[in-house]
Homo-oligomer: A and B are copies of this chain.
Amino acid sequence: MSALSNAVSILRWLRQHGPEAGVSEVASGLDLPKSTASRVLKDMAAHGLLERDTATARYRVGMLLLEVGRHYGAGQPLLEAADEALAELTRRTGYATGISLLNGIDVVVLRSRAGTHPLRVVTPPGTRGPAWANSTGRNLIARLSDREIARRFTPFPRLERPNAPQSLADLMQRVARARARGYDESDDESLEGVAAVSVAVADPQTGDAVSLYVAFSGLHVDRQRRRALAGMLLEIKASLAARFGDGEADAPRRAHG
């Protein structure tokens, strides 16, 4: 196991089990000898990947990671353009918008912007959520082949939320809807009270697809306005497609991850 493996394992472990870790905790969690865990953590801290809480002697995520991590996706023209367009949309309408991307069966938020309308939840960049249980994720799932969808969602992941799809058939039905309409919507699925509409856009160069979304309170936005928002997203998508070659429009292609 290279030194890097250990360091990365620890980062992955931190991603799952919260932002703090002690030596023993990591050692048992990753099944490492205590001595190794102690040394690797110390090395990582010495290099700035982690920081040490002087009081508790526990380790925390380092500032370097914050600084570097925020550049994820920077410099990708499609992404930057989409982000700008969404910023404009938020300015005009006051709703929260963002961009996310499929990773396995999850979506990860790449960019986001809080709106001015009341919405308890904010999902800052780096947040991970169940792709099958919100519009943003399903849009990206919809770009996969049925075969691939079946593969990823067998067995079907359990999620204790009433409105979330509970079976592959259930999911495929909503995917079909998304494919038919060119956009998808969700309401009170993975996040309580949160509704959203979204569209998927792909970079024809790389084939990577991202999803642009507008999020709002499910209680305060009626069907008509949602449709209007979907329309605006579709416009943005069209303009991006015009600018970057295509965007999609054709048959399902591979999404990211």
Judged by a CB distance under 8 angstroms, whether A28 is at the interface is no
Bitwise interface map of A from 69 to 84 toward B, beta carbon under 8 Å scored 1, else 0? 1111111000000000
Do A66 and B63 touch (CB < 8 A)?
A: no
- The count of identical subunits is 2
Q: Report which of B2, B8, B15, B116 forms a contact with A67, defined as CB distance below 8 A.
A: B15
Chain B residues with Cβ below 8 Å from A103 are 63
Interface size on A (CB < 8 Å)?
A: 53
Nearest neighbor of A74 in chain B, beta-carbon distance: B19
A157 within 8 A of B: no
Segment of A52-60, A135-143, A168-176, A238-246 engaged in the interface with chain B: A52-60
- Give the interface of A toward B (CB within 8 A): 2-5, 7-8, 11-12, 14-15, 18-20, 43-44, 47-49, 53-55, 60-75, 91, 94, 103, 108, 110, 113-114, 116, 118, 124-128, 205-206
